[in-house]
Amino acid sequence: MTALADESNLNRLIDRGKEEIYHFRLDSAITVFRQVQQEYPLLPHGYFYESYVTAIYYSQDRTNSYLDSVLQRSIQLAIEKGEFYRNNGGNQAEAAYYLGVSHGVLGIYHVINSNYFKGSIHGRRGKNFLEATVKIDSSYYDAYLGLGIFHYYVDLLPGVIKFFAGILGFHGNREQGMKEILITARQGRFFKVEGDFTYAVMRYFLEGAYSNSLITLQRLYKLYPENPALSLLIGYHYRRFGQIEQAEKYFNSVSESYIEKLPQIIVMKYYNLGVCYYRLNDFEQAEKSFDRLLDTSLRKSQYYQSAIAFYKGMLNGIRTRQSVADYYFGSIRYSQETQYWYYISRFYGKYPFDQWMRNYLIAENHVYSFNSTLAVKEIEALIKAINEDHMSPANPDLIFLIRDLEARLAFQKGQVQKSRQLFEAFIRDLQDFDDDFQRAWILIGYAKILRESKAWQEASDALEQAKATDDEYTRLIIEREKYILKNSQLKAKP
């Protein structure tokens, strides 16, 4: 057992290192945690926290083979120190905790590198150690964060995978998971900030709790304004809700100093700026942002390589450079990481861009940027053209997207019943639309209107139909919408 004075000093050092992480001074954090290793060489604490920081670096530069090997070595050392501490009279709850989080990080490493067998082994070990931690000491509140994330995500697994996960000993519970994360957010010792952050992010993206989550992220941003994760997330929120100037401010606040060691942060900065300009129909400025990302010295994940290729394809199609558009759409290859961009690009790469497509995309951007006056004008012109029999787009399925956009605009303007009527005027014809991905997103939008109309069963049926898509991200959104639907129905009961 560490002497009380030593334990107090150890905690002060860990607190100092954690503050460096939150301010995103990661090299300084590693320096602090190496000091912990020097002063407490038999404890796992300093070794785990160094691996934790290394994992942050690795997550932003997965093409770096040196980082890959450093991360694996640092996690393995943390595990060895944890085992030694556990077997030589150390605090058993603490030893189990550090073994749990170390195996958890190693499990995540294997999963993101598509080694699901090793991922499941270390994930199960991590879960077992964290369960042992709270069994020994139920007030070890940091342990509930890992358990909560585990229980939440296992509950989101598709039916067949969840069945086999159960056989392997993985059982999920979404509500339990969120309660556990909240325990760490409220009472955690060293992971309270991560608990707060995780709770807000999961509620935002997986449960649609936008306002409350934004309040938490803004509160954390005031404490840690240099942290690019907070800047990017808040900027994303404003971008998503059409407040482009606000979004630009947050994206531009991200320092260029991360380009060498954390290149993915700079990729996310310019990618989001590019999308902002694209949504404003400022195609020239959008192209400049995306061209900035074509620099081959800037290391990019497969996901962002595909995202950039998609927008380059769209911009070249809009600007009548069809052969260049075809090149970019054709460069998007299918993988688990890129499947969303692969599926969305199929629709736009199927036929050459014509004036119909260009006008539709301009109108869609007006809807995304909440410019309803210009959106109404563009959409009315498109609907008028549809009703003139002698005119039709090169891509005949574009008519479904135009009708969908008209209904979405009505909903955005608060005209719920009109939106429902507009959807129902074409929704049965969707069976003739052979693009499962695009059809799923139309059905998701339709289900939202049905939910607002308290047509609970019809909304549930629409979401079930949407599940025909193979895209995992879209399926995750469908699960989110089902969760929101269930909660809305419960709240509506007298």
Spans of all domains in the chain: 4-140, 255-349, 360-492
Does residue 222 register a pLDDT over 90?
yes
Per-residue b/e over 172-207, b at no fewer than 16 CB within 10 Å? bebeebbebbbbbbeebebbbbbbbbbbbebbbbbb
287-330 tens-digit pLDDT: 999 999 988 677 888 999 999 999 999 999 999 999 999 999 99
Mean pLDDT of the 431-451 span: 97
pLDDT of residue 63: 78
Mean pLDDT of the 258-277 span: 93
pLDDT of residue 250: 98
Would you call 29 exposed, middle or buried from its count of C-beta atoms within 10 A (0-12, 13-18, 19+)? buried
The four Cα atoms 484, 485, 487, 489 give a dihedral, to 10 degrees, of: 160
Q: Which CATH number fits the domain 360-492, given the four candidates 3.40.50.300, 3.10.180.10, 1.25.40.10, 3.30.43.10?
A: 1.25.40.10
* Phi, psi values for residue 171, rounded to 5°: -125, 130
pLDDT of residue 299: 80
Does residue 5 register a pLDDT over 60?
no
Rounded Cα distance, 355 and 440, in Å: 25
pLDDT of residue 179: 96
Mean pLDDT of the 118-131 span: 88
Cα dihedral sign, 53-97-197-139 = negative
pLDDT of residue 298: 75
Does residue 162 register a pLDDT over 70?
no
Q: In which band, very low, low, confident or very high, does the pLDDT at 111 lie, cut at 50, 70 and 90? A: confident
pLDDT of residue 169: 46
Mean pLDDT of the 44-69 span: 91
Mean pLDDT of the 46-68 span: 90
pLDDT of residue 164: 37
Does residue 157 register a pLDDT over 90?
no
User: What's the CATH number for 4-140?
Assistant: 1.25.40.10
pLDDT of residue 171: 55
pLDDT of residue 172: 60
Does residue 166 register a pLDDT over 70?
no
Q: What type of residue is 426?
A: F
Length of the chain: 494
Does residue 137 register a pLDDT over 60?
yes
Q: In which band, very low, low, confident or very high, does the pLDDT at 2 lie, cut at 50, 70 and 90? A: low
370-410 tens-digit pLDDT: 999 999 999 999 999 988 866 789 999 999 999 999 999 99
Q: Tell me what the pLDDT averaged over the chain comes to.
A: 92
Asked whether the whole model's pTM tops 0.85, one would answer: yes
pLDDT of residue 210: 95
Mean pLDDT of the 4-24 span: 91
